Structure 1
Amino acid sequence: MQVFKFGGASVKDAEGVKNLASVLKQVGFENTLVVVSAMGKTTNALELVINNYFKNKLELQNSIQDVKQYHNDILLDLFENTQHSIFKKIASIFEELDLFLSRNKSPDYNFVYDQTIGFGEIISTTIISEYLNAIGIQNKWMDVRYCIKTDSYYRRANVNWKQTQKAIKDNIDTKTLYVTQGFIGSDANNFTTTLGREGSDYSAAIFAYCLNAQSITIWKDVPGVLNADPRYFENAQLLHNISYREAIELAFYGASVIHPKTLQPLQQKEIPLVVKSFLNPNDKGTKVGKGIGIEPNIPCYIVKKNQVLVSLSSLDFSYIVEENISEIFRLLHYYKMKVDVIQNSAISFSVCFENSYNNLEQLLQHLKAKFKVTCHENVSLYTVRHYNEQAIKSVEKDKALLLKQLTQETIQIVTK
């Protein structure tokens, strides 16, 4: 079986959905499972819904209506007959969302987030599955929450591999074309969970692993894996081949084209991953596989915006030793900070991290009880793999450097 994954940019409008169908026709869809993200910027729109639910009830219905209208416009472009059953199906899904928000009693933001945000994927796949059936590409819509089982770590759930493998084996006929959701799963109580932002790639990898898939293809709006994000760097180049190891390194440092967790299950079973353009589906793209190295061997640039850099020193100028570092990491873990860089000297310790859960103020108050604390918010973290002097100069140009760290293969620079 082969696994395809289409991201939100590929199905942001009716033309995108039609192009998805065109891609399937061009490359073939026998024995295929298609994983699809929410359409366009739906996840962002649903995050606004969640924010209004907690902080601005007067705007809640307006923000929901915006999501409804966006999808209704796509439906009207795809289905000429407004009596088609898809209109009632989508209306029913939105009724489920309204019902949850009206009846929910939990004050837990992360729980509410996961129960709400997954509606984007449920809606997109329902529309796409119905459209494909309407044009003669027979497929079966599948609720991924019956297949991918997780713990209850909302917004960053961990997969229960034993349960997931059994569920996928029980629910999937490998000779059928399936359309299912990325990003979401469910816990032991059948509440919706999410695998982290951009987790749809990971969802596809989970299916590929459990199905012993022949390959996995991630369809993007770029020709493959580039050596830099073209939004931030000029003259980005296509990487033709990458080893699993190199791709995992790039993903770890934040390369947005592949989710950090995606590659590990693929590497275990040596399932090749191909990143291709949904605009030019017959181009070769980038192949990620066993022992390929990196081709061409050029610097690879990664930037992560909106980071936090905290520098700590002891109040009495004593050494920062193992006991101190252990306490710092305990607090970072407690407040759910994702650490990207650490650097320490005899009397200081610096750490750059993501404040994904908005716990920065609580963390700082805790740290200030034991350390002298300097905090820089909204900094940028640049990582360059296979760097050279020219690459370093290009990153440092016209920026205020706050931290710099080099290893044999990688340089990381934090700038303001």
Structure 2
Amino acid sequence: MKVFKFGGASVKDAQSVKNVALVLETQGFESCLLVVSAMGKTTNALEKVVANYFAQTDYQAEIEKVKLKHLEISQDLFTKNHPVFDEISIFFSDIESFLRRNKSPNYNFVYDQVVSCGELISSKILSEYLNDIQFNNTWCDARDFIKTDDNYREGTINWQETEQKMSSLNQHQCYVTQGFIGSDDNNFTVTLGREGSDYSAAIFAYCLNAETMTIWKDVPGVMTGDPRKFENVSLLQQISYEDAIEMAYYGASVIHPKTLQPLKQKNIPFYVKSFLEPKNAGTKVGTSEERSQKESFILKENQHLMRIATRDFSFIAEEHLSQIFTLLAKYKIKISLMQNSAISLDLCLEDLYLTVEELNKELQKQFNTEIIKNVSLYTIRNANLEQLNNFYKDKNILLEQISQKTTQVVTD
């Protein structure tokens, strides 16, 4: 079985949905499973619904906007009385019904029950459209197969149960399902982290012993830099799992950090291809003895640079680090870069859950802290050190770290 993952940009409107069918024509539609993201910016729109719900403002109006957008897309895909319109309405009625009945004050729990609907709706629309044009498939709910704990917004996979559930899927049929979502022991929806649809595809590929897994993007493959951010970038035609994992760790947006491990464990070839040019080879990620030597650039924006120092000018010791890391874990704040001196610790942080101010208040009980918000972290792999001055030009460097093959700088 082959696993294909289509992200939000590849199903953002009616023409994009039709293009998915064109992609499948070039690849073959036998024995495959499609993992689908929410359409376009639907996740952002549903996040606003949750925010308005907790702010006790008009969340119903936001729901209606998202509903109308999906109905408009569907009107360009289906005949007037197609049953998909009723199914779309039911999905949105379920959101409103849940929010009316909900008693939980847990933001993350409510978030997962609401935001997950984006994937459910988009996958249903794509499945129905493909069936209509004779690409026969079965729509299935990923929550019936991917089982997690109840760590809402960043669920941990129960691999044994997930494998057992997926054993019921017929390897010779075609399925359309959702990325980003699973369910806990009580069958409440649990999401797998922002941009987690790639990870979902890898989970399905691992459990189904897939022949290959392909992620369809709006770029030709894995590049030496994001073409929207850097000039003169080129395609990496083949890279090792190790290179891909390293690039994902540093923040390459084309690969989700958790995606690679399940694939590497079973040596499942992984392709990144363009849904705009599906016949092109793209990038193959797989087992290779050779590491890429090409200079490549990765940018992580919306970071925060925090300096933590002891108040009495004593050394930052192990017990201090233990306290700091415990608080970082508590507030689900990820470290993108770390550098320490004798009496201070510099951290470049990714604040996905907007908790950095709470972290700072707790740290200030024992440490002196400074925060510079909204900085950028550049990572240069296989850096040409002789050319670094050209890269540094017109940038205000707040922090620099150079290792044998990697240079990282934080700029404001």
Task: Within 5 Å, give how 1:200-215 maps onto structure 2.
Answer: 200-215=197-212
Deviates most, 388-397 or 31-40: 388-397
Tell me the SS of whatever aligns to 1:78: coil
Contact 1:246-1:293 at 8 Å conserved across structures: no
Establish whether residue 194 from structure 1 lines up as the match of residue 191 from structure 2. Answer: yes
Counterparts of 2:379 and 2:15, CA distance in 1 = 36
Match of 1:263 in 2: 260
Counterparts of 2:87 and 2:362, CA distance in 1 = 49
Match of 1:39 in 2: 39
Establish whether residue 157 from structure 1 lines up as the match of residue 145 from structure 2. Answer: no
Counterparts of 2:323 and 2:51, CA distance in 1 = 33
Counterparts of 1:394 and 1:104, CA distance in 2 = 55
Contact 1:242-1:292 at 8 Å conserved across structures: no
Residue 305 of structure 2, aligned match among 309, 324, 344: 309
Question: What displacement does 1:159 show?
Answer: 0.5
Question: What displacement does 1:117 show?
Answer: 0.6
Contact 2:60-2:96 at 8 Å conserved across structures: no
Task: Within 5 Å, give how 1:112-151 maps onto structure 2.
Answer: 112-151=110-149
Tell me the SS of whatever aligns to 1:381: strand
Match of 1:109 in 2: 107
Contact 1:241-1:294 at 8 Å conserved across structures: no
Match of 1:26 in 2: 26
Structure 1: gaps of 5 or more residues: none
Contact 1:312-1:374 at 8 Å conserved across structures: yes
Counterparts of 1:326 and 1:290, CA distance in 2 = 36
Residue 319 of structure 2, aligned match among 318, 323, 342: 323
Render the CA deviation track for 1:91-125: whole Å, top value 9, x for unaligned: 11111111111111111111111001110000001
Question: What displacement does 1:392 show?
Answer: 2.9
Aligned CA-pair RMSD: 1.2
Counterparts of 1:312 and 1:133, CA distance in 2 = 57
Task: Within 5 Å, give how 1:363-402 maps onto structure 2.
Answer: 363-389=359-385, 392-402=388-398
Question: What displacement does 1:359 show?
Answer: 1.6
Counterparts of 2:56 and 2:252, CA distance in 1 = 34
Residues 312 and 33 (structure 1), Cα distance of their counterparts in 2 relative to 1, 3 Å cut: same
Match of 1:413 in 2: 409
Match of 1:17 in 2: 17
Counterparts of 2:296 and 2:106, CA distance in 1 = 39
TM-score (norm 1): 0.97
Match of 2:7 in 1: 7
TM-score (norm 2): 0.98
Question: What displacement does 1:370 show?
Answer: 1.4
Q: Structure 2 counterpart of 1:241, which letter?
A: Q
Task: Within 5 Å, give how 1:167-246 maps onto structure 2.
Answer: 167-170=165-168, 172-246=169-243
Contact 1:299-1:391 at 8 Å conserved across structures: no
Match of 2:338 in 1: 342
Q: Structure 2 counterpart of 1:198, which letter?
A: E
Match of 2:81 in 1: 83
Residues 67 and 312 (structure 1), Cα distance of their counterparts in 2 relative to 1, 3 Å cut: same
Counterparts of 2:185 and 2:282, CA distance in 1 = 39
Q: Structure 2 counterpart of 1:277, which letter?
A: S
Residue 278 of structure 1, aligned match among 264, 275, 279: 275
Give the fraction of aligned pairs with identical amino acids, expressed as a percent: 56
Render the CA deviation track for 1:230-251: whole Å, top value 9, x for unaligned: 2211222111011000000000
Contact 2:382-2:406 at 8 Å conserved across structures: yes
Counterparts of 2:311 and 2:395, CA distance in 1 = 30
Q: Structure 2 counterpart of 1:114, which letter?
A: D
Counterparts of 2:387 and 2:122, CA distance in 1 = 41
Tell me the SS of whatever aligns to 2:380: strand
Structure 2: gaps of 5 or more residues: none
Counterparts of 1:64 and 1:390, CA distance in 2 = 54
Counterparts of 2:38 and 2:358, CA distance in 1 = 33
